[in-house]
Amino acid sequence: MRRGQNNFINRSMSAPRIITPGPAELADISGQVAIVGVGESVMSGPSGRDPKKMAFLAINNALADAGFSSADVDGIMVADGLPEQITPDDFRDRYGLEQALWFSGEGGGLARIATAPLAAWQAMRSGEASVVVSVLGIDWASQSRAGTGGPAEYHREHAIKANAEAPFGFLPQPVYFAHIARRHMLDFGTTGAQLGALAVACRRHATGHPGAVLRDKPLSLDKYLAREPFIDPLRTDDCCLISDGAAALVMVSADRARDFPKRAAIVEGVGYGGAEEGTMFAQEPAFTSTPMRFAAPGAFAMAGIAPGEVDVLSLYDPFTVTALMMIEDMGFCAKGEGGPFVEGDRLHFDGGGIPLNTHGGMLSHAYTLGASHIVELVRQLRGEAANQVEGAGIAIHGGYSGSDAACLVLRRGD
């Protein structure tokens, strides 16, 4: 295999991702893929660290966790479209290796981390890869401080947004989601205190997690409410962190799941769905819903489970209201009943309800676009999480990007 040449390049690496509104038909991969290693870099605010170096730290930790060496890896997944993600050449250069590497942009983070096992399974089935690493490294905290890049870049540079939204002040994402939260409040009576319950639950989990960026910043509901909204009705505590960090996971065929030092997490279901209006939130007909309403039913059906059987939940949480909508869209409660559903300590790891983002989520752990959420779920299923949910056997992740959403069901391996 010559340097600079990859065995297989997933088509998504060269063509723009096409999102079809509504649910996607996905192959049944129940019980076929196992996650056998997870790892992260240190998470932080602006640090000047290189995203690829952080990504390789996370990969090193994930490979060590699985008992693999870099030479065992034959597949790499990143999030297509995100800048500064690693390439197969980066991987070979980093480890001084020459091996062929299957490469796909259908992993990393955002919505697609939840369906990454499907793409990995397709590569395993066709013999293109057997040990697949998905990784996401990001330095948006450093970039935002420098006034470049960051999460708002896409929205700033979008031609329609630049001409129909930004001139009126409808930018960036916290402004969109303040409108969505407002409408959820108008339609369903949702309150600021109910959004606060989500922020408080995630912060409580962060204060119990040694790797969380906000581990030393406890947040009570009173303290949350005492801070005036800055984009009313959103408070800063309703908005996720912007972070530097990386997270990685290792996938293999589930028939090898027992061959690893730690208990595997078995993929039981995946689901995917697209929004009607892409990232044009103002135009979305289902204004107070997410495409999770299309993604979750397929994942639950593939896994043969109901929401009531879920032990641990993780959700892509750029804003409290986003997580609230996805709780409804997944069917944990009816549309509009999310507010009362999340009150009190029902989302806490020891609250007796449905534990949410037990590492702190993007709201309080780090903004690794959902990659750390999967790391946390695997640790929960192994029984080694910092905020361990007793007897965790079924874990669900909801990935999201605005224009699409995906759902992943994991089961504790034997």
Partner 1 sequence: MDLPLPDPEAEPLAPFWLAAQERRLCLPQCRACGRVDWYPKGTCRGCGSQDIAWTRFSGAATLFSWAEVRRALDPRLAPLVPYISAIVTLAEDGHSRIVTRLVDVDPMSLTAGLPLAVRFLDLGYPLRDTALLAPLFTCPDP
CA 340 vs. chain centroid, Å, equals: 25
Catalytic residue among 224, 272, 367, 400: 367
Establish if 18 lies at the interface with partner 1 (CB under 8 A): no
Helical (H) or strand (E) element with 82: none
Beta strands per DSSP E along 276-372: 312-315
Distances (CA, A) of 367 to 52, 98, 207, 210, 384: 16, 33, 16, 16, 22
Tell me the CB-side half-sphere exposure of residue 352, using CA atoms within 13 A.
2
234-253 binders of partner 1 (CB under 8 A): 234
| Residue placing its CB nearer to partner 1 in the complex, 260 or 281 | 281
Establish if 230 lies at the interface with partner 1 (CB under 8 A): yes
C-alpha 245/C-alpha 138 separation (Å) is: 6
- Binding residue for partner 1 (CB under 8 A) from 146, 160, 306, 334? 160
| Residue placing its CB nearer to partner 1 in the complex, 1 or 186 | 186
Per-residue x/- track, 175-214, partner 1 (CB under 8 A): x--xxx-xx--x----------------------------
Distances (CA, A) of 31 to 22, 51, 264, 374: 25, 33, 11, 17
Per-residue x/- track, 113-152, partner 1 (CB under 8 A): ----------------------------------x----x
Helical (H) or strand (E) element with 12: none
Binding segment for partner 1 among 62-70, 92-100, 125-133, 226-234 (CB under 8 A)? 226-234
Smallest distance, Å, CB 172 to partner 1?
Answer: 6
> How many residues bind partner 1, per CB under 8 A?
36
Establish if 159 lies at the interface with partner 1 (CB under 8 A): yes
Establish if 227 lies at the interface with partner 1 (CB under 8 A): no
Smallest distance, Å, CB 183 to partner 1?
Answer: 4
Establish if 285 lies at the interface with partner 1 (CB under 8 A): yes
Contact 102, 6 (CB under 8 A): yes
Helical (H) or strand (E) element with 138: strand 132-139
Establish if 169 lies at the interface with partner 1 (CB under 8 A): yes
Binding segment for partner 1 among 112-120, 229-237, 307-315, 371-379 (CB under 8 A)? 229-237
> Residues 280, 274, 140, 232: what is their CA dihedral angle, to the nearest 10 degrees?
50
- Binding residue for partner 1 (CB under 8 A) from 8, 95, 154, 287? 287
What is the DSSP secondary-structure string of 143-212?
HHHHTSSSTTHHHHH-HHHHHHTGGGT--SHHHHHHHHHHHHHHHH---HHHHHHHHHHHHHHHHT-TT-
Could you tell me which of 307, 318, 320 has the C-alpha nearest to residue 201? Answer: 320
C-alpha 361/C-alpha 201 separation (Å) is: 10
Establish if 414 lies at the interface with partner 1 (CB under 8 A): no
State whether the Cα torsion 374-379-382-387 is positive or negative: negative
Establish if 165 lies at the interface with partner 1 (CB under 8 A): yes
Q: What angle do CA 185, 405, 269 make, to 5 degrees?
A: 120
Establish if 26 lies at the interface with partner 1 (CB under 8 A): no
Establish if 283 lies at the interface with partner 1 (CB under 8 A): yes
Decide if 95 is catalytic.
no
Establish if 167 lies at the interface with partner 1 (CB under 8 A): yes
| Residue placing its CB nearer to partner 1 in the complex, 222 or 232 | 232
| Residue placing its CB nearer to partner 1 in the complex, 53 or 183 | 183
- Binding residue for partner 1 (CB under 8 A) from 25, 228, 390, 414? 228
The pair of structure tokens assigned to 221 is 């509901």
- Binding residue for partner 1 (CB under 8 A) from 60, 170, 344, 346? 170
Decide if 367 is catalytic.
yes
Smallest distance, Å, CB 165 to partner 1?
Answer: 5
Establish if 226 lies at the interface with partner 1 (CB under 8 A): no
Q: Is 86 helix (H, G, I), strand (E, B) or coil?
A: coil
Residue ranges that bind partner 1, judged by CB under 8 A: 147, 152, 156, 159-160, 162-172, 174-175, 178-180, 182-183, 186, 228-234, 280, 282-283, 285, 287
Active-site positions read 316, 367
